[in-house]
Amino acid sequence: MTPQGLPVPPISGRTTLIAHIGFPTESFKAPMIYNPWFAARGIDAVVVPMGVRAEDFAALAPPLFRLSNIRGALITMPHKVAVMELLDQVTPTAAIAGACNAVRVQPDGRLMGDQFDGEGFVRGVIRKGQPVEGRSALVVGCGGVGSAIAASLARAGVARLALCDPNTAGMTALAGRLAQHYPRLVLVAGNADPAGHDIVVNATPLGMQAGDPMPMDVSRIDPSAFVGEVVMKTEMTAFLQAAAARGCRYQVGTDMLFEMIPAYLEFFGYPAATAGELRGLAQIRW
Amino acid sequence: MTPQGLPVPPISGRTTLIAHIGFPTESFKAPMIYNPWFAARGIDAVVVPMGVRAEDFAALAPPLFRLSNIRGALITMPHKVAVMELLDQVTPTAAIAGACNAVRVQPDGRLMGDQFDGEGFVRGVIRKGQPVEGRSALVVGCGGVGSAIAASLARAGVARLALCDPNTAGMTALAGRLAQHYPRLVLVAGNADPAGHDIVVNATPLGMQAGDPMPMDVSRIDPSAFVGEVVMKTEMTAFLQAAAARGCRYQVGTDMLFEMIPAYLEFFGYPAATAGELRGLAQIRW
């Protein structure tokens, strides 16, 4: 502590780095979640935001991952797809999502990639009492986060998965990768009707701007369905408000964020944490 | 603050990075000096140690300096010479020293290099009441730090400067650069006799290991001389103890470290700090 009572980063030459790579960095939340937790647990590690423009990523990443004090990186926009080419190994979830948001430097220097956006989403759904195995899910939006959620829902055992995205090529390719890894999964592509689904997900950016249209016809969501959101800018988006008004249970965007962090920490080799503990310690400046 | 009362790094996506680049990193002190000061002053910046091996530096540095949230870097062993080739502009002090320990990213992306090892040394000497201008100085050891001290002593106006190093090629080249920039400076090369000098500096690593020989014949140091040391591992090295026993005033190695930091901070565009303030806030784990 300083004489003024302000917090002090206990960073030294023995501190392990986890790079948080993306651009722009201003909206990054991870440093304010991980670092207080590391401090509380007495773990000598720090998440450091690095604003890397798309055109610099391929040059920076290989030497950065050779730093003697780096354990890995959190990868965010716009590098989640580009990073795949630099990795020596990826998990099936990352392969299906076609994107990676976590890189670990193995002891031999090889790079291992995984994808936890969807894992965070699914952990949150299950924690809130909504079973996933054997159920039917709709994911509207098949960009990075939607693909990751679809991959994780498949991994968690949904029986039926509907995908919808105006980018039909991307949507169809995602469906193909899912079919290849999960041959018994019933896949539906191109239909955003939520009727009949147990789990309904907005994985589009709709809801970030005031006046955005609804990502789907909310009046068709079954009141018994569980509704999830990926937008984090507002906790109760218009979409979630409408779903809640229908009686649906729901999960806000930041739940996905906090639920995925224990999975990341495990991936990086740190002790178990819970989403609740992380949320309690976080010092997020929104 | 965490509920446990532990300090928390207030790092966010808006935090400015200063990379501390060297290898190995374990003995780095700067993060534990700068970061508490930034926190105390409410400055949203962080010094981050990066362990860069010699063979990776040329690949890493250019994209690292293009990070959107980097202000510059502290450069230490083994990169102080190699970094010179990457810079767009260097100060005369860095040019004479042939090495650079600070890089600032200019608003247009160009890289500006300076060298503060010697500046820290000279500021400390002057603060302790020993005038430099017009005096005679001996610098034993013309490696990176010795060259930097010689350059800064010349800049501060010594009238006579003696250099000594078993690497005669390096010593002679340094003398040549000094002569070019300071044509009126009286230069003596290859004589480690401290007799007749007002300021006497050990800029060799002798004193880091128990049983190291003295860097020069201490019995020849004038008791009125001011004696400086660059070894930081021990505050009172055998050399300083012997000089103090002769009645000499002296400066320990870490004084150079704390005195140079206000110069660095000024270079990076931060408000004025004093060495005493920095020392009071530092959280060094030796």
Residues B65 and B160 in one domain: no
A:82-141 residues touching chain B, CB 8 A cutoff? none
**The domain that contains B20 carries what CATH number?**
3.40.50.10860
Residues A208 and A95 in one domain: no
ipTM reported for the complex, 2 dp: 0.85
Q: Which residues of A touch B68 (CB under 8 A)?
A: 23-25, 51-53
Residue A286 domain-assigned? Answer: no
Q: How far does B21 lie from chain A, in Å, by closest CA? A: 10
Would you call A49 and B35 a contact, using CB atoms and an 8 Å cutoff?
no
Length of chain A: 286
Cβ within 8 Å of residue A124, ≥6 positions away: A228, A251, A255, A256, A258, A259, A275
Q: Which residues of B touch A285 (CB under 8 A)?
A: 12, 14
Q: In what order do the strands lie in the sheet with A249-251?
A: A186-189, A160-164, A136-140, A199-202, A226-229, A249-251
Identify the DSSP state of A204. S
Domain that holds residue A197: 118-251
Q: Is A4 on the interface with B (CB under 8 A)?
A: yes
Tally of structural domains, chain B: 2
Would you call A11 and B69 a contact, using CB atoms and an 8 Å cutoff?
no
Residues A56 and A105 in one domain: yes
A43, A69, A77: best mutation site toward chain B, by most B Cβ within 10 Å? A69
Residue B67 domain-assigned? Answer: yes
- Map tokens 């730090």 to a residue: B145
B28, B46, B67: best mutation site toward chain A, by most A Cβ within 10 Å? B67
Residues B102 and B81 in one domain: yes
Would you call B31 and A12 a contact, using CB atoms and an 8 Å cutoff?
yes
Would you call B47 and A11 a contact, using CB atoms and an 8 Å cutoff?
yes
Radius of gyration (Cα) for chain B, nearest Å?
Answer: 19
Residue A87 domain-assigned? Answer: yes
The runs of H, that is alpha helices, within chain A are 30-41, 57-64, 92-97, 117-127, 144-155, 168-181, 238-245, 253-267, 275-281
Minimal Cβ distance to A56: which of B13, B14, B66: B66
Residues B146 and B244 in one domain: yes
Residue B275 domain-assigned? Answer: yes
Find out whether B60 and B52 touch, Cβ atoms under 8 Å: yes
Minimal Cβ distance to A9: which of B9, B23, B50: B9
Residues B172 and B73 in one domain: no
**Residue A267's pLDDT is what?**
96
Residue B87 domain-assigned? Answer: yes
Residues A140 and A111 in one domain: no
Minimal Cβ distance to B2: which of A20, A40, A62: A40
Radius of gyration (Cα) for chain A, nearest Å?
Answer: 19
Residues B219 and B143 in one domain: yes
Residue B7 domain-assigned? Answer: no
Residue A43 domain-assigned? Answer: yes
* H or E element at residue B71: strand B70-75
Q: Which residues of A touch B8 (CB under 8 A)?
A: 7, 9, 35-36, 39-40, 283
Q: Which residues of A touch B56 (CB under 8 A)?
A: 63, 66
Q: What span, in angstroms and rounded, lies between the C-alpha atoms of B48 and B43?
A: 15
Residues A87 and A25 in one domain: yes
**Residue A4's pLDDT is what?**
38
Would you call A13 and B7 a contact, using CB atoms and an 8 Å cutoff?
no
B:23-82 residues touching chain A, CB 8 A cutoff? 23-29, 31-32, 35-36, 39-40, 42, 46-53, 56, 59-60, 62-64, 66-70
| For chain B, percent of residues with pLDDT exceeding 90 | 85
**The domain that contains A170 carries what CATH number?**
3.40.50.720
Per-residue model confidence as pLDDT tens for chain B (286 residues): 333 343 444 799 999 999 999 999 999 999 999 998 998 898 999 999 999 999 999 999 999 999 999 999 999 999 999 999 999 999 999 999 999 999 999 999 999 999 999 999 999 999 999 999 999 999 999 998 999 999 999 999 999 999 999 999 999 999 999 999 999 999 999 999 999 999 999 999 999 998 999 999 999 999 999 999 999 888 999 999 999 999 999 999 999 988 999 999 999 999 989 888 998 888 876 5
Residues B226 and B122 in one domain: yes
Residue A92 domain-assigned? Answer: yes
Residues A247 and A127 in one domain: yes
Q: What span, in angstroms and rounded, lies between the C-alpha atoms of A285 and B13?
A: 10
**Residue B10's pLDDT is what?**
78
Q: Can you list the residues of chain A whose pLDDT is less than 70? A: 1-9, 285-286
Closest CA to B230 of B156, B155, B139, B100: B139
**Residue A1's pLDDT is what?**
38
Residues B195 and B266 in one domain: no
